[in-house]
Amino acid sequence: DTEVTQTPKHLVMGMTNKKSLKCEQHMGHRAMYWYKQKAKKPPELMFVYSYEKLSINESVPSRFSPECPNSSLLNLHLHALQPEDSALYLCASSQVQQVRNEQFFGPGTRLTVL
């Protein structure tokens, strides 16, 4: 199984809502990532989990809260978002190594904040 799945595919939320994005992989990868991507731009790294522990937080606002319940699952909890947070949110996974950081991406969640 070389697939990373993400749910939901689309999400529309108001600025006062709380929602969660979910990501799952069964490739045995111990590194998992959250990225934010705007149209025709490269993915921007948000968080990296390595062996289920948060290893990188790229100064992301606290209204985004990541969680890694186990080695296969990654969540992103959303609260009090702003319209400028509307974007494609991508999850990725990889083996934990520095030389060949080959990442496998999910299809993304298209988030719209009203």
Partner 1 sequence: TQLLEQSPQFLSIQEGENLTVYCNSSSVFSSLQWYRQEPGEGPVLLVTVVTGGEVKKLKRLTFQFGDARKDSSLHITAAQPGDTGLYLCAGAGGGAGKSTFGDGTTLTVKP
- Please give the residue ranges that form the binding site for partner 1 (CB under 8 A): 4, 31, 33, 40-43, 45, 48, 50, 55-56, 90, 92, 94, 96, 98-108, 110
Q: Min. distance of Cβ 31 from partner 1 in angstroms?
A: 5
- Nearest approach in angstroms of CB 11 to partner 1 is 14
Distances (CA, A) of 94 to 19, 31, 32, 80, 86: 26, 5, 7, 30, 26
Closest to partner 1 by CB, 18 vs 38, is 38
* Cα atoms in the Cβ-side hemisphere of radius 13 Å centred on 30: 7
Choice between 14 and 51, CB closer to partner 1: 51
Closer residue to partner 1 in complex, CB, 16/100 = 100
